[in-house]
Amino acid sequence: MSLNSVTLVGRVGGEPDVKYFESGTVKCSLTLAVNRISRNTDQPDWFNLELWGKQAEVAANYVRKGSLIGVSGSLKFDHWKDRNTGTDRTKPVIRVERLELLGSRRDNEAETSSNGYDDEF
């Protein structure tokens, strides 16, 4: 038996990066800061998230920097060659299958107004 399952709750580190493809597919990339339960550190762990389709559209419309979200999905690794050095590189990415918007509506509205956003949820 094998299992690849990731569940995280944290705050979004930046605005969603949304890409629309000619095929009609939507992809959204986010970073997520998750506090580790530890007495020795105040630094969060950072995760790269990748959402596709309907989940990507929800993230694009409702998730902003600082939003509290929960995600579940699987861990994958992106592979590429560095253009300058030719070195093989990898980056861990969480492929999100489920997105939960956890902050209250009032929190989200306060966040967006303090960040200068006029979007209504």
Could you list the mean pLDDT of each consecutive 10-residue stretch along the chain, which spans 121 residues? Answer: 92 95 95 84 89 95 95 95 91 96 65 44 33
State both tokens at 19. Answer: 């890409």
Give the domain ranges of the chain. Answer: 6-114
For 88-91, which contacts have Cβ atoms below 8 Å and span 24 or more sequence positions? 91/48
Which pLDDT does position 106 carry in this prediction? 56
Q: Tell the CATH topology of 6-114.
A: OB fold (Dihydrolipoamide Acetyltransferase, E2P) (2.40.50)
Q: How far apart are CA 82 and CA 90, in angstroms?
A: 10
| pTM of the predicted structure, to 2 decimals | 0.78
Which pLDDT does position 1 carry in this prediction? 81
Which pLDDT does position 37 carry in this prediction? 77
Provide φ and ψ at 108, rounded to 5°: -65, -40
Q: Which residues pair with 88 in a beta bridge?
A: 81
Which pLDDT does position 9 carry in this prediction? 95
